[in-house]
Structure 1
Amino acid sequence: MRDMFEKPPGGPYLLSHSAGLLPKAARGDFETHFFTPWTANPGESWPLWIDAIDNFRTALAGLLGGRMADYCPQPNVSAALFALLSGLSLEKGRDRIVMSVQAFPSLGFVAQQAERLGFRFEILEGDPADIATWEAAMAPDVAVIVAMHVHSNTSVVSPVAEIASLARARGIFSIVDVAQSAGILSIDAMAWQADALIGSCLKWLCGGPGAGFLWCPHDLKPLNVGWFSHENPFEFNIRDFRYAPDARRFWGGTPSVAPYVLATTGIRTISDIGVETILRHNRALIAQIDPPDRSGKGGTLCYKPMDIEKTMTALTAAGCRFDRRGETLRLSFHIYNTEQDADIVARCLA
């Protein structure tokens, strides 16, 4: 299966938590679904491009669950979060947004600026894997809970279904970020019963940059609209805006097309291989390095060596591509990694 991907030369590629490798099929699909509509029928490309983006939405629904109509392309998770927050109507005495201190910082930046919409932002201390941490935070004045399914700097998994259940019982809108889990852990949007998901195709979905998304089955009315948020984008009546009847209402103005064409190939490739197959392979390779139980962890091995500089020097000399967050090394094994890759990493860490 590793031969299905554009693998760079050199040593082990261990950055799938940051940017997954594109499938080789993406080149041909990009030519077919992006360039050909543009060159073969100049000026009349939009119907074919919209079909291509619908293919993206359909692929997401097939992998993550729910209806295609409830998915909307977004440039990134930050834009997706703001779109959702801007569509919420605040109730008197209920205005706080809560997320873990371990959340992706970009989402915290969005929540801070959402105070201009009337929200108050609170950073939640404590273990995000412990449901008691979340339950204690769900006070009557909380409007929104934002939970990471997998935390990027620790690989800790939050109990998102339980979080969503508690939030739902208290009338709190729940948003789950699946950027670090989609493609490596099983996700079922309908079973979780969260109010919304946000994510990116850049990482384990091997879809390249610029292809974010949101899933929201609720009839919110976002502020950041444009002609592609319209029920009929090609109506062109400045006096009459009507929200699209599905999640396309979150779309905004003239959309990018290329990122979603690339990402569709990545999503379909991951779906064809199977998330469970990828996870088993990931766990088997990590077991060559770090035998402890991986339950409650995502796909990234977050490793704290005794001498981080010496360990980084060894990994770099072996040609490994990895990254560092503070005193932690982040090493991710995808389906395109091999037992030999794991052996190299094990020797370097030793």
Structure 2
Amino acid sequence: MSGYFLYHSIGMFEGKEAAMRAELDQFSQVWSAPDDAQWGYALGQKQAFMDAWATLIGADSKDVALSENVTGGLYSILGSLPAHVLKGRTVLVAADCFPSLHFLLQKLALRLGFTLRTVPLSAGLSYVTDDDFIKAWDDSVGVALVTWVSSTSSHRVDVDRMAQCATEHGSLMALDLTQAAGLVPFTVHEGVAFTLSASLKWACGVSGASLLHVRADLIEQCEPEFRGWFSQENPFNWNLDQFSYAQGARRFDHGTPAVLGSIASLPGMRFVLASGVENLLEQNRALTAVLLDRAAKANWPVLTPLAENERGGSIMLRASSAQRAQALVDLLREQELYCDQRDGVLRLSPGNVCTEQDVLRLCDTLQTAW
């Protein structure tokens, strides 16, 4: 039993500490040995993590690369595209995207010559509806950045609709899976050009190892400007006049690879794959149903769509103010119930370490102070 409701921030599973310690202890032993086995082991573990991501999303491993975070992955993608994709065109994004990505796009618009079009939150809602996003999508859009599940409302977009829109308008669609990967089943979509995700939330990993999937037919067109010796088919080609990109998504590598994030995230990915995403989602749906039922009875303002096919794994409640929301977070923490808030929005994400009793205890505590 656990009062942990922060899967939108960091994912947990029973035995996580021991599993991570074992993986990192093994790394420490190999990396500290006075022999030449370090890089073979480290790169093998990194590849194992990429293979696990490929399994999770039904992709081919050769189309998968890693970045330090989703922001870095998006930077690599935009810096790899032929100039005509972006120059003089529009990049479309919703106002409820993760702010870090918007900050990046604002700056890159100046250098890459595109117009950033941000679709505002839909009237009376805390998210951008699919209809409103699609209304803003026209033939000027070179790239559309779509957030699968919002971090502030848990609204989930219809990927099929978005992909169809991308095809109709001749746009490239980038999809950020971060707030649902490892919980909601997903298979790479032929209408999605680029798929990105962090690994530290429902996938139960750590920061520093994020997914970057590129649709196979686009890889040869992509020439990342953020490149280095590991972008090559043969990283040990050190002839300064004979650089050539690797054939697969590994061209999105650059300098000496960071491996610790991948190694530390392997236990979480193994847990998710062994448990089965469908089973994890079923448990989450049972717990969020209890939470939504109590919210309805108490008249707590729910910002998350009620339909299961329109939301991720979190339930967001609107407090009267940011100060009130923080007071509720602090009260819950005193009872060893852990959640957070953003601008007055209480974010509650029950996962596999939670039980119905944990949800009821959280609701009872909220009821005393709402």
TM-score, structure 2 as length reference: 0.86
1 CA distance for matches of 2:202 and 2:77?
A: 24
Q: 1:282·1:299 contact (CA, 8 Å) conserved in 2?
A: yes
Which whole-Å CA distance do the structure 2 matches of 1:119 and 1:346 have between them?
47
Deviations 1:250-277 (A, max 9, x none): 1111111111011122111111111111
Matched with 1:304 is: 318
Q: Provide the residue aligned with 1:15 in structure 2.
A: 6
- Distance of 1:154 and 1:261 partners within structure 2: 31
Specify whether residues 169 and 90 from structure 1 end up closer, same or farther in structure 2 by C-alpha distance, changes over 3 A only. farther
Cα displacement (A) at 1:97: 0.8
Report if aligned partners of 1:78, 1:110 keep a CA contact under 8 Å in 2.
yes
Asked if structure 2 preserves the Cα contact closer than 8 Å seen for 1:165 and 1:194, the reply is no
Find out whether 1:175 has 2:174 as its counterpart.
Answer: yes
CA distance in 2, matches of 1:52, 1:308: 41
Other-structure match for 2:158? 159
Residues 1:29 and 1:310: Cα distance change in structure 2 (over 3 Å): closer
SS, match of residue 99 in structure 1: strand
CA distance in 1, matches of 2:39, 2:330: 50
Distance 1:248 1:53, change over 3 A: same
Tell me the equivalent position of 1:100. Answer: 94
SS in structure 2 opposite 1:146? strand
Tell me, in whole angstroms, the C-alpha distance in 1 between the residues paired with 2:361 and 2:331.
10
How many residues align? The count is 339
| Alignment match, 1:5 | none
Identity of aligned residues (%): 29
Report the aligned-residue RMSD: 1.9
The answer to whether the 8 A contact 2:94-2:128 is kept is: no
8 Å contact kept, 1:94–1:140: no
Contact 1:98 1:145 in 2 (8 A): yes
- TM superposition score normalised by structure 1: 0.91
Distance 1:132 1:17 in 2: 25
Contact 2:64 2:249 in 1 (8 A): yes
The residue aligned with 1:186 is 185
Residue number in structure 2 paired with 1:337: 354
Whole-angstrom distance in 1 between the partners of 2:67 and 2:261: 10
Residues 228 and 254, structure 2, Cα contact 8 Å, conserved in 1: yes
Q: Determine the C-alpha separation between the residues in 2 that align with 1:161 and 1:42.
A: 51
Distance in 2, Cα, partners of 1:97 & 1:142:
6
Cross-structure match for 2:31: 38
Alpha carbons 1:98, 1:122 under 8 Å: kept: yes
Residues 1:213 and 2:211 are matched in the alignment: yes
| C-alpha displacement of 1:16 | 1.1
Q: Structure 1 or 2: larger helix share?
A: 2
Structure 2 gaps of 5+ residues are 297-305
Partners of 1:264 and 1:82 lie apart in 2 by: 25
- Mapped partners of 1:88, 1:233: distance in 2: 22
* Secondary structure, counterpart of 2:346 in structure 1: strand
Amino acid in structure 2 at the alignment position of 1:302: M
Alpha-carbon distance between aligned partners in 2 of 1:47 and 1:241, rounded to the nearest angstrom: 23
Tell me how far apart the structure 2 counterparts of residues 309 and 231 of structure 1 sit (CA, whole Å): 51
Higher mean alpha-carbon deviation, 226-235 vs 40-49, is at 40-49
Question: Match for 2:232: what amino acid?
Answer: H
